[in-house]
Amino acid sequence: MKKAIFPGSFDPITLGHHDIIERGVTLFDELIIAIGINADKKNMFSLEERKQFIEDSFGNNPKIKVVTYEGLTVHFCQENNIDFILRGLRNPADFEFEKAIAHTNRDLSSIETVFLLTAANTSYISSSIVRDVIRNHGDYTKLVPKTVRIK
């Protein structure tokens, strides 16, 4: 069974994340969307909200699980028998950053990182851009799945 993790803060999940998840789930028997808990980071959305956004988007797919975790991603993978880390790439800067993390993960474990390029129509979207649009009362709905709504 090929299990992969797609880790991130998902604050909030974007159409870019959604695209990677939809395409990534076709490559693996199980895809775990793992929301990392980082106490140093000030999130716009609570952990529960972020998890709910993702579950509402993919809850009908039995191959997708949504979990939260703390600590190193490779440790979570080792504890849960996960062999692959799925990452999305929007641009060359993402590649350089993700490449360094992938090399570090390979030094720490035998876990492989699989990269998917984001779709051209979502390659400009990041969670930080979405948060900025929300803070400034812009139309964020064009950047996120329909499950992401501010109350």
Rounded Cα distance between 59 and 66, Å, is: 9
127 catalytic? Reply is yes
Catalytic residue of the set 17, 18, 50, 51:
17
Active-site pick, 3, 90, 99, 131: 90
Question: What is the identity of the amino acid at 71?
Answer: G
DSSP conformation letters of 71-132: S-HHHHHHHTT--EEEEEE-SHHHHHHHHHHHHHHHHHSS-EEEEEEPPGGGTT--HHHHHH
Sign for the CA dihedral angle at 41, 67, 4, 79 comes to positive
- Tell me, yes or no, if 41 is annotated catalytic: yes
Is-catalytic flag, 23? no
Active-site annotation holds for 17: yes
Annotated catalytic residues are 17, 41, 90, 127
